[in-house]
Amino acid sequence: WDFLILFFCLPVVIFNEITKKRLLGDMSCRIVPFMEVSSLGVTTFSLCALGIDRFHAATSPQASTRPIEQCQSIIAKLAVIWVGSMTLSVPEILLWQLAQDTSPVSGGVTEFCAMKPSSNLPESIYSLVLTYQNARMWWYFGCYFCLPILFTVSCQLVTRRIRGTEKKSECRGTKHGQCESHLNCTIIALTIIYGLCTTPENVCNIVVAYMSPDLSKQTLDLLNLINQFFLFFKCSVTPVLLLCLCRPLGQAFMDCCCCCCEGCGPDTTSSEGSADSKLKTEMSSSIFFDKPRETPPPLLALGTPC
């Protein structure tokens, strides 16, 4: 979703700031806010899901031998996160519309997006959109800012409380303990980046809500532009941070890039084949056997059979 924001919303915003014309017209005024709010929802619910996963990993009785989650379960969770985020963002499509104004400097007609529901909507839907508009600021602050931060902090505190000093001392030097601490640091770093990038928008929303009559349209447009570029910064930093901190994901991404950019020669294929066969042999000998790999040598008979 971060890539969708960068590839679709960022060019539209830049084009609007340069030409003062809205690319794709009224459609972009509805789609861009919808995608931006959906991005906040996807990040919020993903951080909540990651916090729950870390909590289950810490409280599992056999955390080191916990089975790998099935692909169907992961896809189901992603579907719930994406569909839920997009459903909560549907009012944004009905809230915004294209408006025109005359520039006092150049005298030309400029296009901008106004937060004003259309009067052609049915009465019931129109009232719901107005209710959403009035509660939008606190909904932003509560759901898309407080929820992921409080959820992540709570899960981390509860996880540390349950693990305790005894389990920490047992798993401190093991590979599994290092992996768990590394994943916890990754989630904390993602939450910090998200909190820093969404704080200006929430502050601006509160300031605009209580001081909008005293602010000019140019000031409001500048604040809106700053908020959007903070969102674009978050969308550009999050994938890089995730690929750098999560080493298996970063290594898999680099391997995919190398396979797509470079042709596989005969030597590379043979070396990769031997490496794959060696890896399969090690996995079959270490993972799928319940018995130890090497049986202890038979005891030597000492003395007489009596």
pLDDT at 157: 84
**Which of 20-29, 36-45, 186-195 has the largest mean confidence?**
36-45
Q: Over 90: is that where the pLDDT of 216 sits? A: no
Kindly report, residue by residue over 284-299, the tens digit of the pLDDT: 433 333 344 444 444 4
Alpha-carbon distance 271 to 279, whole Å?
12
Q: Which residues of 196-235 are buried (b: 16+ CB within 10 A; e: fewer)?
A: ebbeebbebbeeeeeeeeeeeeeeeeebbeebbebbbebb
Q: Mean pLDDT over all residues of the chain?
A: 76
* Alpha-carbon gap, residue 96 to 117, rounded angstroms: 6
pLDDT at 269: 44
- d(C-alpha 13, C-alpha 170), whole Å: 52
| 97 has a pLDDT exceeding 70 | yes
Per-domain residue ranges for the chain? 1-60+69-166+190-260
Q: Which architecture does CATH list for 1-60+69-166+190-260?
A: Up-down Bundle (1.20)
Output the pLDDT for position 206: 82
Note the pLDDT of residue 80: 92
Contact between 270 and 276 under an 8 Å Cβ cutoff? The reply is no
- C-alpha 35: how far from chain center: 14
pLDDT, tens digit (0-9, with 9 covering 90-100), for 113-149: 888 888 888 888 888 888 888 888 889 899 999 999 9
Q: What are 159-207's pLDDT values in tens digits?
A: 777 766 545 455 445 666 677 777 778 888 888 999 999 998 888 888 8
User: What pLDDT is stored for residue 263 in this prediction?
Assistant: 53
